[in-house]
Amino acid sequence: MTPPTHTKTFLALLLAGALLLTGLLPGGAPVAQAQAICDPDGQQASGAVYRICMPEQGWNGDLVVYAHGYVAFNEPIAIPEDQLTIPDGPSIPDMVTGLGYAFATTSYSVNGLAVKEGLADLQDLVAIFTATHGAPRRVYLVGPSEGGLITALGTERYFDTFDGGLAACGPVGDFRRQIDYWGDVRVLFDYFFPGVLPGSPVQIPAQLIDQWDSFYEGQAEAALRADPHAREQLLRTAKIPNDPSDPESGIQAILQLLWYNVFATNDGTAKLGGQPFDNSRRLYFGSDNDPRLNRSVARFQADPAALAEIQRFYQTSGDLTVPVVTLHTLGDEVVPYPHEPLYRAKILAHGDQAQHVNVPSPRFGHCNFSAAEVLASFAILIYKVSGELPLGAESILPDPQLRQRYWDLLREAGLPR
């Protein structure tokens, strides 16, 4: 099972759109697509599966490494093929290599919480590529959601491997706050809708995991629809972004967040060496009776070992040596936009603001970007790394409004037109 997010939409736009811009000839004519020449999938020393694909001809010397998004802990270790294809379209490796780039990705050696292992596997993947195909001129690391955090951490810590990164919709500001946000949603759901889900926010029984798709997701959805007033209180007290003009968006946002509680909690606790969620001193606001809510809601305290593990391995520093572009929707319900100002504050503390550009999207939804926003984000990264802005990129956008949005974003980032 894969998480119910827009990760696939992001990947389709990122590599079919943003990379397409670099495949334009000087006059703006697109380069003809060709089938990728992929090596047989290999196995890394960690047990991860990797894939390397090369252009049929004319490699431009650059390598795009993709850090995939979250995959449920109980899925087999494999490259997530559904994140490498566009419905009714060509494969992502075909499009990337058809534009002259080498493409590489890895399954990571574990699913679920895979940040530490993913970082190690991606570094190893670049070394494997260098040994088998030669040293790339530049290496771009890109990834959405969990892959966005991996991208930010990778470019901060391994700037000798990665020349720049595009981190989209990831928990780059504060990983501990991200865990607390998911935990708060479940705690508050249990308060407003008692008895719907078995177990507790920090201990997920096997039956809830095994029967989420077949039973419990439907139970949760029915409860949310049956009591709109309680649902609205949950959205307010948990601070869940949603489109107020579309009641359906609130329901789907809550269900997505409950999915992460169900499938990520036990796995995260095991990998972090303890239970990381803490609301022992949290005050919640936005219900009909906040004093009663704060007296009655379930309380949990994080294990110090888990918090120490998070601080050591999962928190960004904001210490940038190579460029990082972050892309985030203002209405991201899974990984809220406030991660961006938190990350920016870290970067400012190091005096590295010249290395960072954030591209905000006014849209709702996790990783739910427009083609113009993704195009502009990757163009900014190319310019920050190489000093060159791709020519004619806007010509691939289908209408004048999108093309104007593209140029507006470049101007806001201080890039030349």
Beta strands in 27-108 (DSSP E): 37-38, 42-43, 49-54, 62-66, 102-106
Once rounded to an integer, what is the mean pLDDT over residues 391-401?
70
pLDDT category of residue 34 using cuts at 50, 70 and 90: low
Is residue 320 within 8 Å of residue 326, measured between CB atoms? no
| pLDDT tens string 204-232 | 999 999 999 999 999 999 999 999 999 99
**Structural domain that includes position 393:** 7-174+316-412
Residues 120, 31 within the same domain: yes
Q: Where residue 355 sits, what CATH number does that domain have?
A: 3.40.50.1820
Residues 198, 303 within the same domain: yes
Residues 148, 103 within the same domain: yes
Q: What three-state secondary structure class fits 221?
A: helix
Q: Considering the domain boundaries, does residue 404 fall inside one? A: yes
pLDDT category of residue 95 using cuts at 50, 70 and 90: low
pLDDT category of residue 2 using cuts at 50, 70 and 90: low
Residues 261, 323 within the same domain: no
Beta strands in 40-197 (DSSP E): 42-43, 49-54, 62-66, 102-106, 138-144, 164-168
pLDDT value for 27: 34
pLDDT value for 185: 98
Is the model's pLDDT at 238 over the cut of 90?
yes
Is the model's pLDDT at 101 over the cut of 90?
no
Residues 283, 327 within the same domain: no
Residues 254, 395 within the same domain: no
Q: What three-state secondary structure class fits 200?
A: strand
User: Which tops the pLDDT comparison, 45 or 59?
Assistant: 45
Which of 295, 310, 325 terminates a domain? The answer is 310
Give the total number of structural domains in the chain. Answer: 2
* DSSP state at residue 57: S
pLDDT category of residue 390 using cuts at 50, 70 and 90: low
pLDDT category of residue 4 using cuts at 50, 70 and 90: low
Which of 252, 281, 310 terminates a domain? The answer is 310
Q: Which amino acid is at 109?
A: S
Pairing mode of beta strands 356-364, 324-331: parallel
Is the model's pLDDT at 173 over the cut of 50?
yes
Is the model's pLDDT at 23 over the cut of 50?
no
Q: What is the mean pLDDT of the chain?
A: 89
Residues 195, 279 within the same domain: yes
Task: Give the predicted TM-score (pTM) of the model.
Answer: 0.92
Q: Considering the domain boundaries, does residue 216 fall inside one? A: yes
pLDDT category of residue 30 using cuts at 50, 70 and 90: very low
Which of 260, 295, 310 terminates a domain? The answer is 310
Residues 283, 342 within the same domain: no
Residues 375, 301 within the same domain: no
